[in-house]
Amino acid sequence: DTKGLKDYYRKYFPLGVAVSPYSIKQTQQAGLIIREFNSITPENAMKMGPIHPEENRYNWQDADSIVAFAQAHGLKVRGHNLCWHEQTPRWLFYDQQGTLLSKEILLKRLRDHIFTVVNRYKGKIYAWDVVNEAIDDDSTHFLRNSLWYKICGEDFIYKAFEYAHEADPKAVLFYNDYNTERPEKRERVYKLLKKLIDAKVPINAVGLQAHWSIYEPGQKDLITTIERFASLGLKVQITELDMSIYPWEKSPRERLPGESDTYTQDLEQKQADQYAMAFKVFRKYKDVITGVTFWNISDQHTWLDEYPVKGRKNYPLLFDQNLQRKKAYQSVTNF
């Protein structure tokens, strides 16, 4: 059967997947990507640390190879990301004496970075995650107390969007974050988006990362989130979808008492049901949702094997460790 996920969803939205320069060189994985998906996101290759390791040196090799793969196979590319507190090189925030930069110089560096990267892939990357995860995890704070925030206050967010829009006026510009279905965080993200829109910042869309589990979110919270952000006139994408078999809320950095990483049939079924629920909602909101991207290709490799518990195997995707379609694949294509 050569029909893939993207074909089932032709009338709805593009289906994407996060890739590495390594995965696209593996024949089997490359074949799966081309058969099932029509969009890709570089999992790490375009983040500031990997792509801009020193002030006067860019490392284009990995990102270029991913864009070339997309071009060769007619896939769309989402750029990820232009401004984040993680995977950001240390040089960016300090001068040569090791002193924290002034706001003016840091914004100049941000502008140079955004112009250089966005320009290089102009016309080949249709959307950018401009600012990633700027809202704090602690509900008593609004924005995350990153070096970006410490040096620039809220302004780095406004500026990042302005620079990206200036560099490529046609690119679709995103604010991207996780846990956006939890009411309290949703409201803080909403507040930020509203401020940006009121200030006429060129933002087009919001990315719900969707690092979910078989236990959450519930349908109601998912729907409320989509409608709430859509009410601002923004498009919505699901940008980093996976479905952990472990509960997130109670996930400490070590295993729960008695917890094993056996992937039982019961868990696989629960996961298929949770995926089915989510995709039913996505289809219903197809006028708002302009893309759904999975975070990694198959259970063979997922960032969730390392996080939050190092070495605890997870099985969060639609394809198993042998790259075969799982129950969840059937549940999202059978409608």
By CB under 6 A, name the binding residues for ligand G3I.
43-44, 86-87, 132, 209, 240, 303
Q: Which of 240, 249, 254, 259 is catalytic?
A: 240
DSSP 145: -
Q: Which residue is nearest to ligand G3I (CB)?
A: 303
Catalytic residue at 104?
no
Can you point out the beta strands (E) in 103-257? 127-132, 172-177, 205-208, 211-213, 235-244
Nearest to 35 by CA among 27, 44, 43, 47: 27
**Closer residue to ligand G3I (CB): 87 or 145:** 87
What size, in residues, is the chain?
A: 335
**Closer residue to ligand G3I (CB): 312 or 327:** 312
Residue 225 has a CB neighbour count (10 Å cut-off) of: 23
**Closer residue to ligand G3I (CB): 216 or 273:** 216
Backbone angles phi, psi at 165, to 5 degrees: -65, -40
Residue 64 has a CB neighbour count (10 Å cut-off) of: 15
The Cα 226–Cα 19 span in angstroms is 26
Tokens of 58: 């860019």
3-state SS, residue 173 = strand
**Closer residue to ligand G3I (CB): 38 or 209:** 209
Tokens of 154: 């809220």
**Closer residue to ligand G3I (CB): 241 or 276:** 241
Tokens of 60: 């284009």
Q: State the minimum distance, in angstroms, from the CB of residue 257 to ligand G3I.
A: 26
Backbone angles phi, psi at 326, to 5 degrees: -95, 175
Instruction: Cis check for the bond before 81: say yes or no (omega within 30 of 0).
Output: yes
Report, as residue numbers or ranges, the catalytic residues. Answer: 240
